[in-house]
Amino acid sequence: MDAGRLLVRVTVAPALLIVAWLAVALPLLMAGVFRPAPAFALFVPVAAVVLWLGLRSRPREEPGPVPWWTTGSVLAITVAFLVLQVVMVSEQIVVRRDPASYVQFATWLTEHGSLPIPRSVDAFGGPDGVLAFESPAFYADGGAIVPQFMAGMPLVLALGGWLGGTHGILLMAPLLGACCVLAFAGLVARLVGARWAPAGALLLALTLPMLYVSRSTFSELPAIVLLLGGLSLMVDMRRDEGRVADLKAFLAALALGLIVLVRIDGLRDVLPVLAFAGLLIGLRRRTGYWVAGGLLLGAGAGLAEGFTLSRPYLRYLDSSIKPLLAISAAVLVATAVMAVLLRVGRTGTRLRRLGAAVARGRLPGVAAGLTVLVMIGFAVRPLVQTVRRIPATKDDELNVRFIEMVQRIQHLPVDGTRQYSELSLYWVVWYIGVPALLFATLGAALIVRRLLGGRSPEWLLPYAMIVWTTTQVLIRPGITPDHPWASRRLIGLVIPGLLLFTVFASAWTVRRVRRLGYGPKLVNRGAVVGVLLMLVPIVLTSGGFLVTRTEQHEVGAVRGMCDALPARSSVVVVEQSTADRFLQVVRGMCGVPTARVRGGAGPADMKRVIAGVFAAGRQPVIMAAKREQVAPYGTPEHVLHVRTRQDGRTLSKPPGGTWGLVMDVWLAEPSAP
């Protein structure tokens, strides 16, 4: 196998494997039998078929030679990234933010293979009005506990759980992060040129958001792999012919559609794929039907899981989901109308003539100029707008208090309604630097001019998805604006997309310089220097984070806590922060029924609850964060103490430094009456 073919295949293999795994895991989960034996028994043949269909090739023309140093450099960068992230991986398993919630979701699937999570009310002597069973990211619904979020990421993490327990779950993050870097290199190789793939991989790998999300279990990771791998397969589809092209189109669209199973907002990101399928159908390309079929199957699977197993989560997002579904329906109708108009003889001819007139006219140049103006508009946005959000829910009020806390720490004006969304372009500058952003703007302008001029059709779908998503994210990031946390919103597509434009503009610049008569050695050295200069601001932001470990020692501490629980115990948490953090940890990782006491419970309530546990033939255990909170119920025992560092929080400047994090858990075992 030559270097070029190896690069093409290895960069889409991760996406194909995730497609195969989700295709097997989701039906098993919905049937309540997501267990290792049936999952692996089905996955092996399905993965073999998917890889065979996705990696075989029948190209219309043979691609040019690719030097081995290119493929070798991409693989070396990927392996180096993986090793670094494995060494620096965090142990976020105590529920405070999303990564730990995903770990606990995956832990439950690893151990039980079904949803929802039972409340185990009988372990407390039956229902009691003072007891509650929900906690952040784990909703009470229909007499059971339902995890927040879509099931795609936990299904992927469960594979690591079966192979390596909790550490196996955590190590899936570095592995998926390395797959993101590899997949991005593959897309760069296809759209810009194989020799630029190492530069693309290095630029993405060293950005702080990529480092950040691949040290913890963020759902962006499999979504990025599916997105970049799906786009690469779309490019490959254009270069193949016959049934090979059809099947690649189906797998590419299936990968893109399955993003919805990982992240519900992926439905927004893949809408351009629907329009792309309609365009192909309107142009009488049979691959359009395969694209539409794969997309609808993948997105439909995600929506089916969401409205069955994750319904409380979608209800929580109701104010966002309903408009998104309405927009999706409108795009579907508009796409169908476009396809019909293109296929009808008279209107199709007129639309093609219109397209040819646009290509010959001034619109391509106008669109390029408009691209620059839009970026300037985002740059001046902070001068004319301050984005605020009035809290409408309890979670909104918690966010207000959190933002106010960070503002006080950073000596900023205290206004918890501030969203800082007007700074979104400056967030991008923090992470990729001004040079890369300028080149990205140039690249976007050049590409839109080419597309409207009837050239570079392979860029149509990638450009549409990048511009569509980037514009929406920059306008409304929709996330608590502390960094590096908020950077996860950028890494989904904004930063990879802009870096793709950056590399394209760099390659274009090199070609222009060569045409001026400069020698290839001088030009190549200049290109290397240019990439290194673009890396400088990236490393200046990420350098400190690169070698800083956070969220350590949680796994061992939790295991010690679990070992301290007596046999046949039922845990009652009497303090809010401990209940928020540890309710599902104890239930899932310790395998012990757990409940929390509602606010306002008095001594008589606690006496009744403890008696109910004894009546059920179990040992009550009272849990809280401080000794004095459990002392009234028995001899206090200090079962968990974690002193570590967590990522810092910044609102108006690039992230840097860490904050201290201390967690304690005390237990007491009431005596039998």
User: Roughly what angle, to the nearest 10 degrees, separates helices 220-239 and 152-191?
Assistant: 40
Number of domains making up the chain: 2
Kindly state whether residue 127 falls inside one of the protein's structural domains. yes
Q: Would the pLDDT of 61 be above 60?
A: no
Give this prediction's pTM. 0.95
Whole-number Å distance between alpha carbons of 485 and 380: 24
Pick the closest to residue 5 from 68, 60, 52, 53 (CA basis): 68
Burial zone of 317 (CB within 10 Å; 0-12 exposed, 13-18 middle, 19+ buried) = middle
Question: Is the same domain home to 236 and 342?
Answer: yes
pLDDT tens, position by position, 498-518: 999 999 999 999 888 887 777
Q: How confident is the model at residue 66 (pLDDT cuts 50, 70, 90)?
A: confident
592 shares a domain with 503: no
Closest CA to 431 of 501, 497, 495: 495
Which residues have a Cβ under 8 Å from the Cβ of 263 and sit 6 or more positions away? Answer: 150, 152, 219, 220, 223, 492
Q: What is the mean pLDDT of the chain?
A: 93
User: How many other β-carbons are positioned within 10 Å of the β-carbon of residue 628?
Assistant: 9
pLDDT class for 528, splitting at 50, 70, 90? confident
Kind and range of the H or E run holding 642: strand 637-647
CA distance 562 to 560: 5
Q: What is the pLDDT of residues 589-627, one digit of tens each?
A: 999 999 999 987 888 999 999 999 999 999 999 999 999
Alpha carbon distance 199, 73 (integer Å): 9
pLDDT on residue 59: 63
pLDDT tens per residue, range 124-169: 999 998 999 999 999 999 889 999 999 999 999 999 999 999 999 9
Selected residue with higher pLDDT from 429 and 600: 429
Same domain, yes or no: 324 and 251: yes
Q: 505 with 647, same domain?
A: no
Task: Name every residue whose Cβ is closer than 8 Å to that of residue 176 and which is 6 or more positions away in sequence.
Answer: 156, 214, 221, 222, 225
180 near 210, Cβ under 8 Å? yes
pLDDT at 213: 97
60 pLDDT tier (thresholds 50, 70, 90):
low
List Cα–Cα distances, 49 to 186, 235, 599, in angstroms: 21, 20, 55
**Statement to judge: residues 514 and 563 lie in one domain:** no
Strands 619-624 and 569-573: parallel
pLDDT score for 597: 95
Tokens of 285: 């390309």
Mean pLDDT across 551-566: 95
The share of the chain scoring above pLDDT 90, in percent, equals 80
Compute the distance between CA of residue 401 and CA of residue 417 in angstroms, rounded to an integer. Answer: 9
Q: Is the pLDDT of residue 661 over 80?
A: yes
C-alpha to C-alpha distance for 218 and 420, rounded to whole angstroms: 22
Judge if 80 and 205 occupy the same domain: yes
For residues 479 and 486, the answer to whether their CB atoms sit within 8 Å is yes
pLDDT of residue 104 exceeding 70, the answer is yes
Same domain, 630 and 532: no
Maximum Cα–Cα distance across the chain:
94
- Please tell me whether the peptide bond between 462 and the residue prior to it is cis, using omega within 30 degrees of 0: no
E strand map for 574-633: 594-597, 619-624
Question: Quick one: pLDDT at residue 63?
Answer: 63
Q: Which two tokens stand for residue 74?
A: 């991409």
* pLDDT digits 0-9 by tens, 350-364: 888 888 887 788 889
Percent of all residues in the chain with a pLDDT value above 70, rounded to a whole number: 99
**pLDDT exceeds 60 at position 62:** no
* Tens-place pLDDT, residues 309-333: 999 999 888 888 999 999 999 999 9
pLDDT tens digits, residue range 77-87? Answer: 999 999 999 99
Residue where a domain stops, chosen among 478, 512, 546: 546
Minimum mean pLDDT range among 190-194, 335-339, 394-398, 562-566: 394-398
Q: How confident is the model at residue 474 (pLDDT cuts 50, 70, 90)?
A: very high
Decide if 571 is inside a domain: yes
- Is residue 97, in this structure, part of any structural domain at all? no
In a domain, 158, yes or no: no
Q: What is the mean pLDDT of residues 341-348?
A: 84
| End-to-end alpha carbon distance in the chain | 75
The domain of 377 spans 3-90+169-384+420-546
Are 166 and 589 in contact by the 8 Å Cβ rule? The answer is: yes
465 and 584 housed in the same domain: no
